[in-house]
Amino acid sequence: MDPSTDSGSSAEMREGRAPYGRNWPELLAKHGVCKETLQIFRRDILAFYRTKGRQFSWRSEISPYRVLVSEIMLQQTQTGRVEEKFRAFVDSFPGFQELAAADFSEVLRLWKGLGYNRRAKYLHDIARTVVDEFDSVLPDDPQVLVRFSGIGKATAASICVFAFNTPYPFIETNIRTVFIHFFFADQIDIADAEIMALVEQTMDRNNPRDWFYALMDYGVMLKKTVGNLSRKSSGYRKQSRFEGSNRQLRGRILDLLLQRSRLDAKTLAALLDQSEHRTAPLLSTLVSEGLLVEEEGCYRLS
């Protein structure tokens, strides 16, 4: 049951074969999910990572701060776009204290192009919390991190894995793709709870950082060869159209206030070529989220 050293092709991947020529569905049908099967799974994933693992700035120089920035940036954003922005961001704000001391407009200016601008506010708020309440040291407990702005359970666990190399199971889109491909190939409507059980069983507790890097990189390869298997997940939701959406208008409002500093609601609507009826609730939401401040009918960045 040792792995073959023969390289697999894209056709083999589509047929359910893993790299190294292994017919995984046949292996799983014969032996089921047992200790030996899971060992082979781990070996195949790690063998792929050793030769084809991706390189990123946040992986080559690891610190809790750099991991936090990268994990917030990577939420719903492709790695290529993050790589471009990450270096400039950490050059300008090399640590929690520098980020916490910056004006939000400076943070947003460097964030521009990543989208989902609430994340810039979350990151800014997190830095201030870490400085003010934790003496500039990022907590290494997911139960603490999950209370921070913009950090859910999966992100809290991933931060602890990558920043501190501590074993906490989590699922994101690429990890989900790997486990669906190997263990749920003939199923649909797969719940994350089913996947999480296997994530916990296969997790490397001595070096979880490299193990989860390996899973994520393998998932990226699968998406290029077999497509987006996350569509088979019970939690899959198709992303809504961006062009003409409220999300696009929110971004345009923030861009205008980066340029003009302060604008009233009527002028904002005119510059956006939209009615005040359309822009008013967006402005109200941006204020409630802490991205904007309203003063005597005028708006500015917080």
Q: Looking at the domain assignment, is residue 1 inside a domain? A: no
Categorize the per-residue pLDDT at 11 as very low, low, confident or very high, splitting at 50, 70 and 90.
Answer: very low
Mean pLDDT of 144-155: 96
What are the start-end ranges of the H helices in the chain? Answer: 10-14, 24-31, 35-52, 57-60, 64-73, 79-92, 96-101, 104-111, 118-134, 142-145, 153-164, 173-183, 192-202, 208-225, 246-260, 265-272, 276-288
Q: Looking at the domain assignment, is residue 5 inside a domain? A: no
Instruction: Report pLDDT for 88.
Output: 96
Identify the active-site residue in 15, 61, 71, 294.
71
Closest CA to 202 of 34, 22, 17, 27: 34
Strand runs labelled E in the chain: 263-264, 292-295, 298-301
Residue 246's SS3 state is: helix
Instruction: Report pLDDT for 15.
Output: 44
Model confidence at 5: pLDDT above 50: no
Q: How many domains, the chain? A: 3
CB atoms inside a 10 Å sphere around CB 49: 18
Model confidence at 13: pLDDT above 70: no
Give the structural domain span for 252.
Answer: 246-301
Model confidence at 46: pLDDT above 50: yes
Report which DSSP code applies to 286.
Answer: H
Categorize the per-residue pLDDT at 18 as very low, low, confident or very high, splitting at 50, 70 and 90.
Answer: low
- Residue 83 bears catalytic tag: no
The verdict on 150 and 174 lying in the same domain is no
pLDDT, one tens digit per residue, over 197-252 is 999 999 999 999 999 999 999 999 999 998 888 888 887 777 777 777 898 999 99
Categorize the per-residue pLDDT at 288 as very low, low, confident or very high, splitting at 50, 70 and 90.
Answer: very high
Q: Looking at the domain assignment, is residue 2 inside a domain? A: no
Min mean pLDDT across 28-32, 66-70, 129-133, 263-267 is at 28-32
Contact 5/22 with Cβ under 8 angstroms? no
Q: Looking at the domain assignment, is residue 3 inside a domain? A: no
The verdict on 154 and 173 lying in the same domain is no
pLDDT, one tens digit per residue, over 70-88 is 999 999 889 999 999 999 9
Mean pLDDT of 3-11: 38
Residue 195's SS3 state is: helix
pLDDT, one tens digit per residue, over 158-175 is 999 999 999 999 999 999
Q: Looking at the domain assignment, is residue 4 inside a domain? A: no
Residue at which a domain ends, from 232, 266, 281: 232
